[in-house]
Amino acid sequence: MTSTVPKQKVFEAAGKAMIYLALTVLALGTLFPFLWALGTSFKTEEKAIAIPPQWIPDPFRPQNYVEAWNMFPFARFYFNTLLISVLGTLGALLLSSLAGYALAKYEFRGQYAILLSIIATMMIPYWVSLVPVYILLAKLGWLNTYHGLIVPHLARPFGIFLMRQYMRSIPSDYIDAARIDGASEFGIFWRVVLPQCTPALATLAIFFFVADWNSFMWPLIVTTRLEMRTVTVGLSLLAGSPYRTAYALQMAAATIGALPAIVVFLAFQRYLTEGITLTGLKG
């Protein structure tokens, strides 16, 4: 039967099948560390270290999650992280769009210099200024406070740059019309410009939220009191605790820590990948 099909077509189909196979293997490899952690997290400690490894947890032990959750005040860590991430994201969105708007839709001297300076600060890695900022926060009495965790990162050059690029594509006619109608400058920004920026804002919101949720070194340094710690720092405490060899417990904690970012990403991933294309984040 196949003799009627040209050989070239067969090779092509085989090549395509190989590519699908390779991509599937890669996708499984990408997911494997998560699935393995998830599997371990439901095992008894005894089965977790069994050789050869057990594929499906049996007996099934969801209590690991309860124990991991209560080992450290994870409820508090979650609250802290959520508060910091939500306020940090909203604040950074507001500041980015305000500054981006000023740079995109007004004309004044030194505008380009300001834009370049903001982009230049994007190149400074955070740990160059880590010690001076830490000292500054210590002097202000901002260590172990929410504002100490949030305020220093409210202005994000990347966000300002992205909003500026995006807002330049909004026609100025709307703005001029609103101005003729007597709208205030802030009113124009808030009611005319901002609603047109939803795609860019959504992209940035995911970037900011995920970055804040996963931030580690900053909260590690700025907080010392247990009740001010975040999820990532809590995880590192657990990873360094005497329970470090309770592998099922560790994996339950790691899963608890990984889940929110994965859920947020899967729920909004359309905006993220579309946003990267749309906002011209491609060099």
Partner 1 sequence: MNRKQRKPSRKFWLQDYKLRAAFFFLLPAVAILIVFSLLPSLAAIGLSFTKWDMMSPARFAGLANYKRLLADARFKASFVNTLYYVIGSVPLGVLFSLIIALVLNEKWLKGKVLFRTLFFIPVVVSSVAVSMMWKWIYNPAYGFLNAALSVVGIPRQFWISDPHLAIPSLIVMTVWQTFGFNVVIFLAGLLAIPAELYEAAMVDGANKWQQIRHITLPLLAPTTTFVIIMAIIRSFQVFDQVQILGGVAGPPKSLVVTVYYLYQMAFGSFKMGYGTTIGVVLFLTILVVAVAQFRYYARRFEE
**Which residue type is seen at 148?**
G
Min. distance of Cβ 5 from partner 1 in angstroms? 17
Q: Look at residues 138, 144, 156 and name the one whose alpha carbon lies nearest to residue 91.
A: 156
Give the C-alpha separation, 245 to 52, whole Å. Answer: 18
Our finding on whether 118 is near partner 1 (CB under 8 A) is yes
Contacting partner 1 within 182-201 (CB under 8 A): 185-186, 189
Contact between 32 and 38 under an 8 Å Cβ cutoff? The reply is no
Q: Which of 261, 264, 244 is CA-nearest to residue 68?
A: 244
Site residues (CB under 8 A) for partner 1, limited to 70-89: none
Alpha-carbon gap, residue 252 to 43, rounded angstroms: 10
Among 114, 119, 183, 202, binds partner 1 (CB under 8 A): 114
Q: Which is nearer to partner 1, 57 or 157 (CB)?
A: 157
**Residue among 31 and 226 whose Cβ is closer to partner 1:** 31
Site for partner 1 in 243-282 (CB under 8 A): 244, 247, 250-251, 253-255, 257-258, 261-262, 264-266, 269, 272-273, 276-277, 281-282
Least distance from partner 1 to the Cβ atom of residue 191, Å: 14
- Residue closer to partner 1, measured from CB, 34 or 69: 34
With CB under 8 A as the contact rule, the residue among 5, 136, 226, 267 that binds partner 1 is: 136
Residue with tokens 């400058």: 185
**65 part of the interface to partner 1, by CB under 8 A:** no
d(CA 72, CA 236): 11
Q: Which of 1, 56, 123, 180 binds partner 1 (CB under 8 A)?
A: 123
Find out whether 48 and 40 touch, Cβ atoms under 8 Å. Answer: yes
**By CB under 8 A, residue 203 contacts partner 1:** no
Q: Who's near 69: CB < 8 A, 6+ residues apart? A: 75, 256
Distance CA 262, CA 30 (A): 13
Q: How many CB atoms lie within 10 A of CB 244?
A: 11
Give the total of residues touching partner 1 (CB under 8 A): 93
* Nearest distance from C-beta of residue 277 to partner 1, angstroms: 4
Nearer to partner 1, 1 or 43 (CB): 43
